[in-house]
């Protein structure tokens, strides 16, 4: 019988990534036809369904693991201000659409986008912070740099999960950029979970970051001819690399903040949380 506590955390991470990839690559386009839904709605209804499935599996895995995951009422919500650090990302996301004509937005599309983004936030946080991070921490907590490894390795797994985007995006530098900055986000959220003791606020923050950055993709907010950007340079490899580098720089402060916060975490208190 397969028992999580008896397996290598790397094996568990690999299985987790395979499960995530298998579900995310399910073709739902044939079920959600354009006769009833727009292309935007098909994409985000499909995303919501897939992420809801992953969330359900993650919730089951978290409770089967019976380890510290930020869901227990035993630990109070501490250092709440840390959850406000990513607010600068909300503002950057708002700047991408603030000058556009918002009157053209379909309210149903907006609500669908919000629901999809929150579902993504909850699913990914439950999988990588709620489940995988405790698996790695329990294995490495006694090592000299155990907390660092226990937070970093799930964050890297979270970043690698974005490689599945290559199935729908042939812009390789952009996807590699997603892997890097997703790792930054994952590391910051992992450290924040250890400091705050609560997973739900992280899941909400995660979802809202996605939401504010994706509002500009709503139908009705497309870039028109007057504001269109010359994509000739972006089509070249150097242009793609330059474009992919910008988000990495935007999310880099989260990694730096996470590294600073990590130094202030008392190993003994973390070990208490993961004691059998």
The secondary structure of 112-153, three-state, reads: HHHHHHHHHHHHHHHHHHHHHHHHHHHHHCCCCCHHHHHHHH
Full pLDDT tens readout for the chain, 276 residues = 456 666 899 999 999 999 999 999 998 877 877 778 888 999 999 999 999 999 999 999 999 999 999 999 999 999 999 999 999 999 999 998 888 888 888 999 999 999 999 999 999 999 999 999 999 999 999 888 999 999 999 999 999 999 999 988 889 999 999 999 999 999 999 999 999 999 999 999 999 999 999 998 899 876 543 444 444 545 687 888 888 899 999 999 999 999 999 999 999 999 988 875
Q: What is the pLDDT of residue 222?
A: 60
Q: What is the pLDDT of residue 235?
A: 65
Q: Is residue 202 part of a domain?
A: yes
Whether the Cβ atoms of residue 166 and residue 175 lie closer than 8 Å to each other: yes
Q: What is the pLDDT of residue 36?
A: 81
Q: How many CB atoms lie within 10 A of CB 43?
A: 19
Q: Is residue 215 part of a domain?
A: yes
Q: Which residue has the tokens 């994706």?
A: 214
Q: What is the pLDDT of residue 233?
A: 47
Q: What is the pLDDT of residue 276?
A: 58
Q: What is the pLDDT of residue 234?
A: 52
Enclosing domain of residue 65: 4-222+237-273
Q: What is the pLDDT of residue 5?
A: 62
Q: Give SS3 for 270.
A: helix
Q: What is the pLDDT of residue 196?
A: 97
187/195 Cα distance (integer angstroms)? 13
Q: Is residue 119 part of a domain?
A: yes
Q: Is residue 229 part of a domain?
A: no
Q: What is the pLDDT of residue 206?
A: 97
Q: Which residues have C-beta within 8 Å of that of residue 77, sequence separation ≥ 6?
A: 196, 197, 198, 201
Q: Is residue 64 part of a domain?
A: yes
Whether the Cβ atoms of residue 77 and residue 68 lie closer than 8 Å to each other: no
Q: What is the pLDDT of residue 261?
A: 97
Q: What is the pLDDT of residue 182?
A: 97
Does the pTM exceed 0.85? yes
Q: Which residues have C-beta within 8 Å of that of residue 20, sequence separation ≥ 6?
A: 54, 127, 161, 164
List the one residue out of 108, 106, 202, 117 whose CA is nearest residue 151.
202
**Token digits for 108?**
């149903």
Q: Is 73 exposed, middle or buried (0-12, 13-18, 19+ CB in 10 A)?
A: exposed
List the one residue out of 155, 141, 149 whose CA is nearest residue 188.
155
Q: What is the pLDDT of residue 227?
A: 46
**Token digits for 183?**
């790792």
Q: What is the pLDDT of residue 240?
A: 84
Domain count for the chain: 1
Q: Is residue 65 part of a domain?
A: yes
Q: What is the pLDDT of residue 79?
A: 96
């Amino acid at each position: 019988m397969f028992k999580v506590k008896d397996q290598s955390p790397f094996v568990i991470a690999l299985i987790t990534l395979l499960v995530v990839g298998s579900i995310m690559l399910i073709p739902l386009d044939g079920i959600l036809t354009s006769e009833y839904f727009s292309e935007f709605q098909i994409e985000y209804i499909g995303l919501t369904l897939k992420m809801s499935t992953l969330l359900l599996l993650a919730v089951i895995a978290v409770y089967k693991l019976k380890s510290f995951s930020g869901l227990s009422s035993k630990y109070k919500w501490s250092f709440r201000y840390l959850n406000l650090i990513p607010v600068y990302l909300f503002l950057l996301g708002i700047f991408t659409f603030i000058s556009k004509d918002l009157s053209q937005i379909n309210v149903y599309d907006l609500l669908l986008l919000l629901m999809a983004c929150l579902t993504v936030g909850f699913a990914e946080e439950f999988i990588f912070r709620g489940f995988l991070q405790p698996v790695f921490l329990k294995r490495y907590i006694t090592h000299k740099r155990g907390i660092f490894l226990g937070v970093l390795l799930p964050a890297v797994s979270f970043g690698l999960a974005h490689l599945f985007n290559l199935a729908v995006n042939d812009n390789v530098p952009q996807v590699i950029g997603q892997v890097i900055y997703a790792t930054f986000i994952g590391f910051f959220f992992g450290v924040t979970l250890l400091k705050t003791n609560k997973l739900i606020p992280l899941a909400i923050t995660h979802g809202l970051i996605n939401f504010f950055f994706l509002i500009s993709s709503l139908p009705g907010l497309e870039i028109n001819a007057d504001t269109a950007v010359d994509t000739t340079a972006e089509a070249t490899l150097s242009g793609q690399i330059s474009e992919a580098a910008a988000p990495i720089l935007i999310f880099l402060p989260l990694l730096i903040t996470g590294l600073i916060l990590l130094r202030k975490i008392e190993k003994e208190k973390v070990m208490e949380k993961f004691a059998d």
